[in-house]
Amino acid sequence: MTDKPRAATPAARTTQEVPATRETGDAREAQGAYPVGLRLANRRVVVLGAGQVAQRRLPALLAAGADVTLIAPSATPSVEAMAEAGELRWERRRYREGDLADAWYALISTDDPAANAAASAEAEANRVWCVRSDDAEAATAWTPATGRSEGVTVAVLTGRDPRRSAAVRDAVVEGLRDGTIAAPRHRSRTPGVALVGGGPGDPDLITVRGRRLIAEADVVIADRLGPRDLLDELPPHVEVIDAAKIPYGRFMAQEAINSALIEHAKAGRAVVRLKGGDPFVFGRGMEEAEALAEAGIPCTVVPGVSSAISVPGAAGIPVTHRGVAHEFTVVSGHVAPDDPRSLVDWQALARLRGTLVLLMAVERIGAIAEALIAYGRSPQTPVAVVQEGTTAAQRRVDATLATVGETVRAEGVRPPAVVVIGEVVAVGARTTGREPADS
Ligand SMILES: C[S@@+](CC[C@H](N)C(=O)[O-])C[C@H]1O[C@@H](n2cnc3c(N)ncnc32)[C@H](O)[C@@H]1O
């Protein structure tokens, strides 16, 4: 062990994080700790005692690849399971002098103070860094409150206040996860595109992963729908491109977006393609993923909360309800039922008893409702149209299948809106105190 550092002098020792027992000295002790990341892979680590402390510390030691020897006459069921799974070597006995020989690091947590003291003295003599659960003063190492998020390890030492450490750790890890703390990768970053589903519009309804990727992006290419408020929070160096404004003819728009994605990714930038709802629900997400694959550019897909479910939900409408609807079908209404380009079997849909959710249907809702009635769905079927769901401008208009075409026109409902057809609309009305629309 010639390459190991010399033992710390008593004055420089740090202590394991334990609850405060006195008011003074916290800052001094925290300052005395020298933070370091131990690379324990395949290095011998000895754990004495197999109670709650060992149970909490072992997973991180094993995750670091440490070669763990556990010495304890008995163990908690979780620790026992680790031994049974072959994750560590368990010697079912008490501590004996010599157990720490050749160890790089030791965790001493038996319920026998004399054994802990003896093991601690052996660690000191052998220059093995050791953590003690019972006597922080006697320890030569101190376990920080740790957390991880996407390749970042957060370790916090505050002296004698473990709850404070945990609170700081939680705040930082949460910030990293939700992207409020940006941790852009500058080294070993794989250039590529993240296809992120932004949810229906409320910035709180994007996923944690989506938000983090936006915070780490160099370029964000965004649609008109989705959480546009998030874009205002981005630092000035992030280039935000409005997909709707990429200059090309209307029919070239998708090709132009694909080219922009490829171009920026090839330039080594972290690109986020931010889409409304979920990228694969009427979002052309797969077309973009295919174009990127063809260009040899890695693409990550981050699912999003689709407006098909969340917008009705935000307006108090469950798309299914026990005893009312056992299915819901999401349909695009972007072409009329009699349009030769339509791939929708409206006749079959009219026979279903469950919920129909129509996207992109505002302009053709009259023709769609007529077709459904003609094919047999009751004209009294309740219908709700929810415009700009989950945003401050959310608005719900109720009708029936017979009246919805005229109601949408008269009320001036505009896209984006989700149309919900079925008895679930009335279920929602019961809880929100709404009167069902007149037939
Ligand atoms: C091109 S589709 C994209 C759907 C999206 N990928 C999703 O999963 O929500 C656009 C349609 O989604 C619906 N939509 C999206 N966001 C909406 C919102 N906040 N309120 C109401 N409808 C919305 C509208 O029907 C709109 O015409």
Residue 316 sits in the same domain as residue 358: yes
Distance 422 CA to ligand 1 centre (A): 19
Q: Is residue 25 part of a domain?
A: no
Q: Is residue 26 part of a domain?
A: no
> Would you place residue 20 in the very low, low, confident or very high pLDDT band (cuts 50, 70, 90)?
very low
Residue 73 sits in the same domain as residue 199: no
For 74, the 3-state DSSP assignment is coil
Distance 119 CA to ligand 1 centre (A): 64
Please tell me the predicted confidence (pLDDT) of residue 23: 40
> Would you place residue 197 in the very low, low, confident or very high pLDDT band (cuts 50, 70, 90)?
very high
Residue 290 sits in the same domain as residue 312: no
Please tell me the predicted confidence (pLDDT) of residue 437: 60
- Give the sign of the dihedral formed by CA 322, CA 323, CA 329, CA 334: negative
- pLDDT over 90 at 50, yes or no: yes
Residue 128 sits in the same domain as residue 157: no
The whole-angstrom separation of Cα 10 and Cα 37 is 22
Per-residue pLDDT tens over the stretch 368-426:
999 999 999 999 999 999 999 999 999 999 999 999 999 999 999 999 999 999 999 99
Q: Is residue 236 part of a domain?
A: yes
**330 near 225, Cβ under 8 Å?**
no
Pocket of ligand 1, candidates 223, 225, 275: which has the most ligand atoms within 8 Å of its Cβ, to mutate?
225
Per-residue pLDDT tens over the stretch 296-342:
999 999 999 999 999 999 999 999 999 999 999 999 999 999 999 99
- What's the Cα-to-Cα distance from 305 to each of 205, 244, 387, rounded to whole Å? 7, 21, 17
Q: Which residue has the higher pLDDT, 249 or 357?
A: 357
Across 26-30, 90-94, 432-436, which has the greatest mean pLDDT? 90-94
Query: From atom 10 of ligand 1, which residue's Cα is the shortest distance away?
Result: 360
H or E stretch covering 165: helix 162-178
What is the number of the ligand 1 atom nearest to the C-alpha of 387? 21
Please tell me the predicted confidence (pLDDT) of residue 376: 97
State the DSSP code for 276: S
Please tell me the predicted confidence (pLDDT) of residue 160: 72
**281 near 308, Cβ under 8 Å?**
yes
| Count of structural domains within the chain | 4
The whole-angstrom separation of Cα 328 and Cα 322 is 12
For 4, counting Cβ atoms within 10 Å of its Cβ (0-12 exposed, 13-18 middle, 19+ buried), the class is: exposed
Distance 200 CA to ligand 1 centre (A): 7
Distance 204 CA to ligand 1 centre (A): 16
**388 near 357, Cβ under 8 Å?**
no
Q: Which residue has the higher pLDDT, 123 or 3?
A: 123
Q: Which residue has the higher pLDDT, 234 or 39?
A: 39
The whole-angstrom separation of Cα 95 and Cα 113 is 11
- pLDDT over 70 at 26, yes or no: no
Residue 408 sits in the same domain as residue 296: no
What is the number of the ligand 1 atom nearest to the C-alpha of 280? 6
Residue 196 sits in the same domain as residue 170: no
Query: From atom 27 of ligand 1, which residue's Cα is the shortest distance away?
Result: 360
State the DSSP code for 205: G
Pocket lining for ligand 1, CB < 6 angstroms: 200-201, 225, 276-278, 281-283, 306-308, 311, 359-360, 386, 388-391, 415-418
Q: Is residue 29 part of a domain?
A: no
Distance 232 CA to ligand 1 centre (A): 21
Residue 121 sits in the same domain as residue 136: yes
**227 near 194, Cβ under 8 Å?**
no
Q: Is residue 265 part of a domain?
A: yes
What is the number of the ligand 1 atom nearest to the C-alpha of 334? 27
Q: What is the CATH number of the domain that holds 110?
A: 3.40.50.720
- What's the Cα-to-Cα distance from 381 to each of 132, 193, 356, 423, rounded to whole Å? 69, 44, 11, 7
Residue 371 sits in the same domain as residue 419: yes
The whole-angstrom separation of Cα 243 and Cα 314 is 27
The whole-angstrom separation of Cα 319 and Cα 285 is 24
What is the number of the ligand 1 atom nearest to the C-alpha of 359? 25
Active site residues: 223, 245
Q: Which residue has the higher pLDDT, 166 or 25?
A: 166
The beta-strand segments (E) located in 29-175 are 44-48, 67-71, 89-91, 105-108, 129-132, 145-149, 152-156
Which residues form the domain of 294?
192-305
Per-residue pLDDT tens over the stretch 56-110:
999 999 999 999 999 999 999 999 999 999 999 999 999 999 999 999 999 999 9
Distance 384 CA to ligand 1 centre (A): 15
**366 near 328, Cβ under 8 Å?**
no
Q: What percent of the chain has pLDDT over 70?
A: 87
Query: From atom 25 of ligand 1, which residue's Cα is the shortest distance away?
Result: 359
Distance 203 CA to ligand 1 centre (A): 15
> Would you place residue 226 in the very low, low, confident or very high pLDDT band (cuts 50, 70, 90)?
confident
**351 near 375, Cβ under 8 Å?**
yes
- pLDDT over 70 at 251, yes or no: no
Q: φ, ψ for residue 62 (rounded to 5)?
A: -70, -40
Compute the mean pLDDT over every residue in the chain, rounded to the nearest whole number: 88
The whole-angstrom separation of Cα 385 and Cα 414 is 10
Long-range pairs for 166-173 at CB < 8 Å and ≥24 separation? 169/144, 169/145, 172/147, 173/147, 173/148, 173/149
Q: What is the CATH number of the domain that holds 396?
A: 3.30.950.10
Please tell me the predicted confidence (pLDDT) of residue 247: 65
Q: Is residue 402 part of a domain?
A: yes
Residue 11 sits in the same domain as residue 126: yes
Q: Is residue 115 part of a domain?
A: yes
Residue 93 sits in the same domain as residue 137: yes
- Give the sign of the dihedral formed by CA 295, CA 274, CA 221, CA 237: negative
Structural tokens at position 187? 């080294």
Secondary structure (H, E, C), 22-47 = CCCCHHHHHHHCCCCCCCCCCCEEEE
Q: Which single residue is written with the structure tokens 């505002």?
A: 362
Per-residue pLDDT tens over the stretch 134-166:
988 889 999 999 988 877 899 998 877 888 999
Pocket of ligand 1, candidates 275, 307, 362, 419: which has the most ligand atoms within 8 Å of its Cβ, to mutate?
307
What is the number of the ligand 1 atom nearest to the C-alpha of 285? 6
Could you say which of 278, 305, 332 is where a domain stops?
A: 305
Per-residue pLDDT tens over the stretch 280-297:
999 999 999 999 999 999
